[in-house]
Amino acid sequence: MVTERGLEVLRAIVQDYVATHEPVGSRSIVDRHAFGVSAATIRNDMAQLEDEELIVAPHTSSGRVPTDKGYRVFVNHLAKVRPLSTGQRNAIETFLADPTDLDDLMARTVRVLTQLTGQVALAQYPSFARASITHIELVALAPHRMLVVLVTDAGGVSQRIAPLPIELEEADVAVLRAQLASLITGRAVSEAADRVQALSSTDRAVTAPRLQPALLALADVIREELAEFRQERLVMAGAATLARREQDFRGSIHPLLEAIEEQVTLIRLMSEMTTDEHGLATSIGTENAPFGLGEASFVASNYAAPGGTARVGVMGPTRMDYPSNLAAARAVARYLSRMLEEDGTTR
C-alpha cells in the first residue's frame, strides 16, 4: 500500500529525475522539497514505492529512478498539465498564422511543436477517409496520357497520370468525364472506391465498347488515388534532436530513426494510442514494446479536422517532462483545430 505522502515522494522523484537525469536519493529529496520530515522517513516511503515497483535502484546503494509503471502513475494521478506561458502561446499563434495550404500548415505545426518541446514532433494528417468526392477532372496531356484530378470536400486534392491504351477525341474525354463524375461525385471516398472497383469486375459495360479500355485504365488510376486518400499520413520534425539525447535511449537511437524513416510503425502507434476524456494520450516506455520502441514515450493530443479527429504529439525518451509536453501538444492541437475550422485555405 502506498501512502499519500508516498505518492508525493514519487512525484518528487519523477520531477527531480527528469530535471537532473540522475538517480535521486532520500537526502536530495528533503533538500529540494519541503516535506518536513527526515531523510530516513523518505527512505521508508521509497522502500514501499520500490515494493510496488514504481521506482528502482540502479544498484544497491544509489538513488532511485522511476519505472515505467512509476511514470504511468505519475501521469495518471500526479501530474497537472500546466498551461503554457503567454510567450509560448504567442509563438504558436504567430508560427501557425497564414499557412499557404494544408501541407504548409502541418509542416509548421510539427516545427513549432518540436521547438516547444525539444522532442521529435509527429502529426497525423487530417483523414480524408470519410470525405466525399466533389470533383473529378480529366486533362488530356498527350494522345496516350491523361491527367486525372480528384478533389474532396475536406480539402484533399490528388492528381495522377494515367496511360491510355487508345486515342481519344475531345468528345470522348467529355463522355468519360461525365460518366465518371456521375459515378463518384458526392460519394464518400470508400464508397467511390467500391463503385470504381465494380467497374472493372462486372462484365456489364457502362460506356461505349470503344471507350471501355480507356475507362478501365482510368478506373485503375482512380482506385490508386482513392487509396491514397484513405491512407493515413504523418508529418514529422525534430529528428535531429535525437542526436543530443542519445544516452537517454539505452545506447541506441537506431530504432527511433528507423521508425521515423519507416513511418508505418509510427502511423500505427499514433492511431492506436488511447486517449483520456480530454483527448490526451500517453504511451510510456515498455507500453510501446510491441512496436519495437520500448525505450521511447509518446504523448499526443486529439485535434479536430474536417474529416474527423486526428492527433498531434511528440516522441521522446521515457524520462521526459510529461506535463510540459502534454501541455504543448494540447495547445498546438487547439490552435490547429481552430485554424482548420475557421480558415478556408485547406478546403
Residues forming contacts to DNA in the complex (CB under 7 A) are 5, 23-28, 36-41, 43-44, 46-47, 50, 57, 59-64
Residue 242 touches which member of DNA, a second copy, none, C-beta under 5-8 Å by kind: a second copy
Separation CA 53–CA 69 (nearest Å): 7
Check residue 47 for interaction with a second copy (CB under 8 A).
no
Q: From the list DNA, a second copy, none, which binds 216 (C-beta under 5 to 8 Å, kind-based)? A: none
Using rule CB under 8 A, residue 201 touches a second copy: no
- 29 near a second copy (CB under 8 A): no
Which of left, alpha, beta for 21 (phi over 0: left; psi -120 to 50: alpha)?
A: left
Q: Which of 288, 297, 286 is nearest to 326 (CA)?
A: 297
**What cell does 140 get?**
488530356
| By CB under 8 A, residue 218 contacts a second copy | no
Where do runs of H (alpha helix) occur along the chain?
4-20, 26-32, 39-51, 68-73, 86-96, 102-117, 170-184, 189-201, 212-230, 241-244, 254-262, 264-272, 322-342
Residue 147 makes contact with a second copy by CB under 8 A:
yes
34 binds a second copy (CB under 8 A): no
Tell me how far, at minimum, the Cβ of 240 lies from DNA, in Å. 28
Q: Which of residues 95-124 bind a second copy (CB under 8 A)?
A: 100-101
Question: How many whole angstroms separate alpha carbon 193 and alpha carbon 136?
Answer: 13
Q: Minimal distance in Å, beta carbon 61 to DNA?
A: 3
Nearest to 329 by CA among 120, 141, 157, 143: 120
**Separation of first and last alpha carbons in the chain:** 55
58 or 165, CB closer to DNA?
58
Give the one entry of DNA, a second copy, none that residue 63 binds, where binding means its C-beta sits below a cut-off of 5 to 8 angstroms depending on kind: DNA
Find which of DNA, a second copy, none residue 43 binds, CB within 5 to 8 Å per kind: DNA
In what side-by-side order are the strands of the sheet with 280-283? Answer: 234-237, 120-124, 308-317, 296-305, 280-283
Contact segment (CB under 8 A) with a second copy among 53-61, 76-84, 149-157, 334-342 equals 149-157
Cell numbers 456521375 label which residue? Answer: 182
- Among residues 16 and 321, whose Cβ is nearest to DNA? 16
Least distance CB 137 / a second copy (angstroms): 5
Q: Which of 22, 53, 98, 258 binds a second copy (CB under 8 A)?
A: 258
**What part of residues 52-71 is at the interface with a second copy (CB under 8 A)?**
none
DSSP assignment of 35-88 equals --S-HHHHHHHHHHHHHTTSEE-SSTTS-BEE-HHHHHHIIIII---PPPPHHH
* CB 293 to a second copy: min, Å: 13
Pairing mode, strands 234-237 and 120-124: antiparallel
Binding residues for a second copy, rule: CB under 8 A, are 100-101, 134-135, 137, 139, 141-142, 144-145, 147, 149, 151, 155, 157, 159-161, 163, 224, 237-240, 242-244, 246, 252-254, 257-258, 260-261, 344-345, 347
